[in-house]
């Protein structure tokens, strides 16, 4: 004797599948904040590179890493915008790199240890390529990339795609970053960061078909 009719069994299978899918989506939602954070243990490198954004936290972290003796120099990148657009209006723009340099100097990094890299960058992919090219020019093979914790997985993915041939990148998140990976949906800034990073990673894994200005 059948307990359930074929139609009811099909309905139960659909409900079971939908419930399982829902649970998987909930778990992914809850854990994506943690998944975005990847870091390698710090080790000696040729340079520490400060990725643009979040002034002054990334520069402060770079200064801490420098003073711990992990590298003898700190690299900064400089953005093409909004300086180029403001120049057309005859308005001088003091770039983010200038403020990062002041932070480094304030924290005791000597001026001769600080270098601003060329060419100007627009996004993280540009930064990764500029840093990789700097390593190549110096015939060196390792760099510490300092960024925000939520940004670490995307930085690592972009390095692997764009600059792995230039050397080893040790991706390092800001140690006192306020980002809460376990409860990212509770804070507007964290939620925006997570959405941006997930979209950015999708773009990176797809081969960078979308050229975004977002860092």
Identify the pLDDT of residue 210.
Answer: 83
Identify the pLDDT of residue 19.
Answer: 67
pLDDT digits (tens, 9 = 90+) for 137-150: 999 999 999 999 99
Torsion angle of alpha carbons 118, 39, 68, 190, nearest 10°?
80
Identify the pLDDT of residue 1.
Answer: 46
Tokens of 10: 């099909």
Mean pLDDT in residue range 180-199: 95
Identify the pLDDT of residue 82.
Answer: 83
Task: Give the mean pLDDT of the chain.
Answer: 90
Confidence band for 2, pLDDT divided at 50, 70 and 90: low
CB 54 within 8 A of CB 148: yes
DSSP per position, 191-210: HHHHHHHHHHHHHHHTTS-S
Task: Identify which has the larger pLDDT, 214 or 158.
Answer: 158
Mean pLDDT in residue range 177-187: 95
Identify the pLDDT of residue 30.
Answer: 74
Residue 111 clears pLDDT 90, i.e. is over it: yes
């Amino acid at each position: 004797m059948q307990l359930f009719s074929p139609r009811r069994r099909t309905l139960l299978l659909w409900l079971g599948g939908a419930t399982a899918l829902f649970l998987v989506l909930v778990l992914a939602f809850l854990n994506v904040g943690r998944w975005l954070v990847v870091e390698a243990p710090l080790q000696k490198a040729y340079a520490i590179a400060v990725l643009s954004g979040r002034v002054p936290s990334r520069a402060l972290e770079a200064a801490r890493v420098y003073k711990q003796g992990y590298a003898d120099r700190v690299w900064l990148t400089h953005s093409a915008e909004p300086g180029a657009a403001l120049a057309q209006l005859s308005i001088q723009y003091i770039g983010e790199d200038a403020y990062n340099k002041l932070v480094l100097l304030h924290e005791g990094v000597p001026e001769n240890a600080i270098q601003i890299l060329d060419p100007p960058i627009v996004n993280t992919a540009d930064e990764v390529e500029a840093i990789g090219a700097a390593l190549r020019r110096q015939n060196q093979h390792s760099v510490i990339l300092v960024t925000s914790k939520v940004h670490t997985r995307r930085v690592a993915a972009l390095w692997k795609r764009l600059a792995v041939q230039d050397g080893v990148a040790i991706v390092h998140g800001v140690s006192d970053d306020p980002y809460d990976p376990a409860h990212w949906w509770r804070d507007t800034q964290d939620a925006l960061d997570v959405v941006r990073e997930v979209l950015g990673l999708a773009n990176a894994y797809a081969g960078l078909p979308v050229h975004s200005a977002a860092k």
